[in-house]
Amino acid sequence: MKRIAIQGFMGSFHDIAAHLYFEGEQIQLICCSTFEQVFDNLRKDPTSIGMVAIENTIAGSLLHNYELLQNSGTTIVGEHKLHISHCICCLPEDDWDTIAEVHSHPVALMQCRKFLEQHPQMKNVEAEDTAGSAKMIAEGRKRGWAAICHAEAAKMYGLKVLENHIEDNKHNFTRFLVVSNPNKADLLRSLTETNKSSIVFSLPHEEGSLSHVLAILSFYKMNMTKIQSLPIIGREWEYKFYVDVMYNDLTRYRQSIDAIIPLTKDFRVLGEYKDGRQTN
């Protein structure tokens, strides 16, 4: 049985992503309040695995999670891209005319902004988690409160779905990373099947330093799918660059890495893994 640390409660999108990624396997969820707690759990229990959101097609990158990932010393072993669909739900005895407040994670509230504008009588209340909001309403018997979460979470906590698929953009996906202790990584992936890599590095404060790195990746036919820069605390106007590349030839990928290392500082491969499938 695999022990999976997630941010959020049962029924959260992290829960759904974990079950889809490890479909058909027995897993035990370790529910954490914060992403910091997820990585703390991986440090305390090297046999556990983490499932961590890293970017959303609407809200963008979760920048803090990049820092947590790098500082944790863990390795990326996989990814999953999950379609994000929201519903609004409440206690069975409530209905549209009795709802005064709607609770959810701030990103979920933002993703349903147009829907909420159509219901100005409902006060928007930010919470730590989508499924956690449903759990709070169900266990506390909170009359007049509604939650925005996945419909599976509403079902799990015995709430009534007033309306499903209320998200503004129907092409809303979140990318989750599967991370583990480096010593466990090869048990969770096959390097011969990898076609994607996440790397991080900083650069000398010299003209053209980034373009030289990108030119080498292009020469070796690496498909750069993402580049994210973050400032380095304490080093003014210097940045870390987080780059995702995809490749068809493992040897050429290795050659490209060998070629760019001398041009960079603090270089690290965060993980080599298989491009994740996308699920609705």
Could you tell me the two tokens for 222? 């690496």
Q: Which of 74, 75, 174, 264 is catalytic?
A: 174
What is the rounded CA–CA span in Å between residue 217 and residue 227? 12
pTM reported for the whole predicted model = 0.92
Q: Quick check: is 176 catalytic?
A: yes
* pLDDT digit string, tens, across residues 216-246: 999 999 999 999 999 988 888 889 999 999 9
Rounded to whole angstroms, the Cα distance separating 124 from 272 reads: 41
**pLDDT, tens digit, 9 for 90 and up, residues 194-213:** 999 999 999 987 788 999 99
Q: 265 - beta bridge partners?
A: 202
- Find the range with the poorest average confidence among 6-15, 54-63, 83-92, 137-146: 54-63
Q: Which residues of 98-124 are buried (b: 16+ CB within 10 A; e: fewer)?
A: ebeebbbbebbbebbeebbeeeeebeb
Name the nearest CA neighbour of 79 among 161, 183, 197. 197
Q: What is the tens place of the pLDDT at every residue in 139-168?
A: 999 999 999 999 999 999 999 999 999 999
Catalytic residue from among 35, 115, 176, 201: 176
DSSP per-residue codes, 203-237? --S-TTHHHHHHHHHHHTT-EEEEEEEEEPTTSTT
Residue 192 is a catalytic residue: no
Q: Other C-beta atoms within 10 Å of 49: how many?
A: 26
Per DSSP, 242 falls in state: E
